[in-house]
Structure 1
Amino acid sequence: MAETSIGESAQLRAALVDTLRDKGMVTSALVEAAIRAVPRHWFMPAGTPTEVAYGYDSSVVTKRDQDGMAISSVSAAYIQARMLELAELRPGMTVLEVGSGGLNAAYLAEVVGPEGRVVSIDIDPEIIDLASTALDATGYSSRVRVLVADAEHGVPDEGPFDAIIVTVGAWDIAPAWLDQLASDGVLVLPLIMNGVTRTIGFRRDGDHLASTSAEVAGFVPMQGAGRHADQVLELADTTGGKVKLAFDSGAPPDLIQLNGVLDADAAEFWSGVTVSHGISFADLHLWLAWYLDGFGRLAADEGSALAARKRWLPFAVVRGAGLACLVLRDAMQGAGAEFGARAYGRDGQVAAAALIEQIQAWDRAGRHTPPTFAYWPAGGDRSQIRADATVMNKTHGVVTISWPTSS
């Protein structure tokens, strides 16, 4: 819990709600009232600064693994608010939260009211203990049931749920969630699609799920039976620094060809596609994740040669013995920034050409209209998938994306 006075916390909470409303993250009276009511700072780790506890976009790590990687956190306020809105909650509903921490469960309890029911689960007993303590201290323990459980297997003796909110990164949708979701229920989850995550609000539509809205957001990954491990290739560069290339699925064959790919000088190629300063281009990353074969996420040690060269983005494509990463440069006449490809290795120019081609395709067909998603579980009638949809295979079904033509 962050140490703060009642007056200070109330003032900060009111300012946070005003910001959330101004930015369109809070749109309903129910969600606004919930965020105004819950003392957010009580759910933070000891020593968390008050301004961080009530920050608009401040996420707070609550637990790390032995390697220092975050495995549990309190999500940023704007993410929590938007997910509550995506869930289309009403008083009296029964709601499941996957990935506990206490704060979001308290918000849920406020929204569904005394006639509603909230069940919050987490695979980690320590996190459940922390959530239980905070919920008890803030008066919500009688309104929220907290359980240690692996979400992949559902919650025995519970449901059906009018809404399920998943607050950890999910590579797939567990069949148990669909089994326990009401016939007209809403599922909100951060879905990982080839290394790029979107928090999607899904509603049942017959034998599949159809998206109602989606937001850019990142979460700590799922643990337990639903965990999905990336295939990671580690490369050394000329400084001895390490560069890691991670593939969510569909890693290119013969990655051994990339040994030494960073030894030679890089060449840069430019797309002619620009973005104005301050304008989000997150949907470019999503487009590349869906339409670019050999797509992976790139990470580089701080001391590596790649990291030293500024304005690179953590995405890359592989072709044979070539690697190309996404980069930016200042556009002509102050017109923002131009997208390009930095190429390494014998086949680097081929990889760069593939990346440039998809940047330009996104510019033509994807940058002006948001996509829609659907999820078709195994056994569903996939003949009904839209003709303009692109399909991505998952373990328990397929997810599709449709990018409407800009009018």
Structure 2
Amino acid sequence: MTTVRDHDVDDAARLRTAMVDELRGDPITSDAVAKAMATVPRHLFAPEASLDEAYESNTTVPVKRNSDGLTLSSLSAAHLQATMLEQADIRFGMRVLEIGTMGYNAALLQELVGPTGHVTSVDIDPDIVERARTYLAHAGYDRVDVVCADAEYGVPAGAPYDRIIVTVESPDIPPAWLKQLTGDGRIVAPLRMKGVTRSIAFDRDGAGLVSRSYRLCHFVPMQGDGAHDRQRLKLDTGVYLTIEDFKPTFDVTALQQALQSPPMEDWPGAAFDLPDELELYLLTSSPQMALLHASQERIDEGLLAASTRLGVPALIGDDGSFAYRIKRQRQDSDDDFECGVIAHGPAAEDVAAQYGQLLRRWAEHFRRRDAASIRYLPAQAATPPEPGAVLPKRHGSVVVSWPQNSGTPGGDPA
């Protein structure tokens, strides 16, 4: 692989400009983020990648893996970093805490806060901390404080912070982050909920937090005291349910029997659009929803449909019958798609009808970006202030509600 050492500064500047031009409009909407990304030499923080790879907007650069090949640390894709920086709305003079360091994003933050602001970046891995310090100094950003510590407890020495931006997947919002946030501060965190992750911009709201925006994202898992084991319920070889954030009462034997029963298919007439929004709606609209996964081998055998390969929300009935979403192109359109339902088990028709009703309701009322309201309530907070899916966490709970919009539904093409 050709490394950056084989290229000159002009090539890097050209690619950096092209990257920013590509990201302009979506996700970059501010001049401040555009200027920061056009200034910081991203390639200096990714010597493992070629110059072209370093500036590909959707490319993640793995930096460290464990013995099983799982990525422990990586340089996130520029598209995702720009998305979170826009969510954070960072301004000159702010104090910012970055949780999870790789150097590059901290340099962007330093550009955004300017000479009167301050950036603290924390990571639990001493190798990653040393790497970040080295590359930040080489790139001229030695004002960033890079701290080796468990981010579950924040960095009290630099508090309070106007912004806390988290660049690792977080199963919860630790009390230390709330304590170290200013009264009008914002936390941008990739919060894991029922097996999926969304980058959520949270503002203060009484004792807790309320979302201002959320976006689809993928990050390496949190390490240290804030780590969380992913919970799975095996139904068959290569088939399982993700059962995080709730205590399942599912009849496993009945589910296994239903899995082997002939499937039924239904098409309720609901549009397929904005799949990440639809996924979040389905998972938080019923306590009987869980992510259903199947390996490619089991899909190729015809046991389950292709939508299960990356996980699809499944509605579980009391008798073990279950239903999940599929899609197909509309017969009268070359571009539009519609949602369908596959159901298994003795009550397949009933669970398929319930699932179809949820699909139609989403398409009619919630088919848009940021349709949900997501609140975080620390453990000491009062009862949730409004109806919604309550997802229990170690330090508190997440409440996801879907305020109905009377406007015309619509969204970006899927």
1:288 aligned counterpart, secondary structure: helix
Task: Write the letter of the residue equivalent to 1:11.
Answer: R
Matches within 5 A, 1:22-37: 22-23=25-26, 25-37=27-39
Letter of the 1:15 partner, please give it. Answer: A
Q: Report whether the alignment pairs 1:312 with 2:314.
A: no
Give the 3 Å change call, closer, same or farther, for CA 107–397 of structure 1 in structure 2.
same
1:14 aligns with 2:21: no
Structure 1 runs not aligned, ≥5 long:
none
Report how far residue 306 of structure 1 moved. 5.6
CA contact (8 A) 1:301 1:307 kept: no
Query: Which of residues 255, 264, 276 is equivalent to 1:267?
Result: 264
- Inter-partner Cα distance in structure 2 for 1:307 and 1:22: 43
**Structure 2 CA distance for partners of 1:257 and 1:280, relative to 1, 3 Å:** same
Per the alignment, residue 42 of structure 1 pairs with 44
From the superposition, tell whether residues 134 and 256 of structure 1 become closer, same or farther in structure 2 (CA, over 3 Å). farther
SS in 2 for 1:305: helix
TM-score, length of structure 1 as denominator length: 0.89
Give the secondary-structure state (helix, strand or coil) at the position aligned to 1:343. strand
Aligned residue among 284, 290, 308 for 1:290: 284
Measured at CA, do residues 402 and 301 of structure 1 come closer, stay the same or move farther in structure 2, by a change above 3 Å? closer
* Equivalent position of 1:258 in the other structure: 255
**Partners of 1:300 and 1:59 in 2: CA distance:** 25
| 1:93-142: CA deviation from partner (whole Å, max 9, x where unpaired) | 111111111111111111112222111111222222322222222122x2
What's the % identity of the aligned pairs? 39
Match of 1:247 in 2: 243
Q: One-letter code of the match for 1:255?
A: V
Q: Distance in 2 between matches of 1:292 and 1:306?
A: 30
Given that 1:230 and 1:249 are in contact with CA atoms closer than 8 Å, whether structure 2 keeps it comes out as: no
Confirm or deny that 1:223 pairs with 2:242: no
- Cα offsets for 1:141-160 (capped at 9, x unmatched): x2111122111122242211
Distance 1:307 1:397, change over 3 A: farther
Count the aligned residue pairs: 395
Q: Where does structure 2 lack aligned partners over 5 or more consecutive residues?
A: 408-414
Deviation at 1:176, TM superposition (A): 0.4
**Partner of residue 275, structure 2:** 281
- Contact kept, 8 Å, 1:190 with 1:217, in 2: the verdict is yes
Deviation at 1:349, TM superposition (A): 4.0
String of CA shifts for 1:61-87, please: whole Å, max 9, x gaps. Answer: 222333323232222212111211221
Cα distance change of structure 1 residues 264 and 280 upon mapping to structure 2, 3 Å threshold: same
Q: Provide the C-alpha distance between the structure 1 equivalents of 2:348 and 2:59, rounded to a whole number of angstroms.
A: 38
User: Residues 308-387 of structure 1: matches in 2 within 5 Å?
Assistant: 311-313=306-308, 314-315=311-312, 316-319=314-317, 320-334=319-333, 336-368=336-368, 370-382=371-383, 385=385, 387=386
User: What secondary structure, in the 3-state scheme, does the structure 2 residue paired with 1:157 have?
Assistant: helix
Q: Pick closer, same or farther for the CA change 1:45–1:303 going to 2, 3 Å.
A: farther
Aligned ranges for residues 91-102 of structure 1 at < 5 Å? 91-102=92-103
CA 1:347/1:45 → structure 2, altered by over 3 Å: closer, same or farther?
A: farther
Q: What is the alpha-carbon distance in structure 2 between the residues aligned to residue 262 and residue 345 of structure 1?
A: 7
> Contact 2:231 / 2:242 at 8 angstroms: preserved in 1?
yes
- The answer to whether the 8 A contact 1:274-1:331 is kept is no
Secondary structure of 1:57's match?
Answer: coil
Task: Tell me which moved more, 350-359 or 104-113.
Answer: 350-359
Query: One-letter code of the match for 1:66?
Result: S
Output the CA distance in 2 between the equivalents of 1:297 and 1:307.
20
Deviation at 1:382, TM superposition (A): 4.2
Mapped contact 1:232–1:247 kept (Cα < 8 A): yes
C-alpha offsets along residues 256-279 of structure 1, whole Å, 9 cap, x if unaligned? 43335433432222221123xxx5
1:322 deviates by 2.5
| TM-score, with structure 2 as normaliser | 0.88
